[in-house]
Amino acid sequence: AYLNAAYWISGEGGRQDLAEQIFFEAQRCNPDDYRIFQEKGLFYVREKEDQKAIHALDMALRLWPSRQDPKDEQTRLDLAQVLTIRAFLHDMLGEKEQALALFKKASSMFPENRGLAKRVQILEKGGDSETAARKTWDSFFPRSQICSREGHAHDRDDGHDHEHEHECGPQE
Strands 153-155 and 144-146: antiparallel
pLDDT tens track for 91-115: 999 999 999 999 999 999 999 999 8
pLDDT over 70, % of the chain: 81
State residue 143's pLDDT score: 54
Q: What share of the chain is helix, strand, coil (3-state, %, to 5)?
A: 65, 5, 35
Spatial CB neighbours of 85, under 8 Å, sequence gap ≥ 6: 41, 42, 45, 53, 57
Phi, psi of 153 (to 5 degrees): -90, 145
**Residue 158: is its pLDDT beyond 70?**
no
Beta carbons of 52 and 44 less than 8 angstroms apart: yes
Neighbours of 111 (CB within 10 A): 9
Q: What is the pLDDT of residues 34-73, one digit of tens each?
A: 999 999 999 999 898 999 999 999 999 999 999 999 999 9
3 state DSSP class of 110: coil
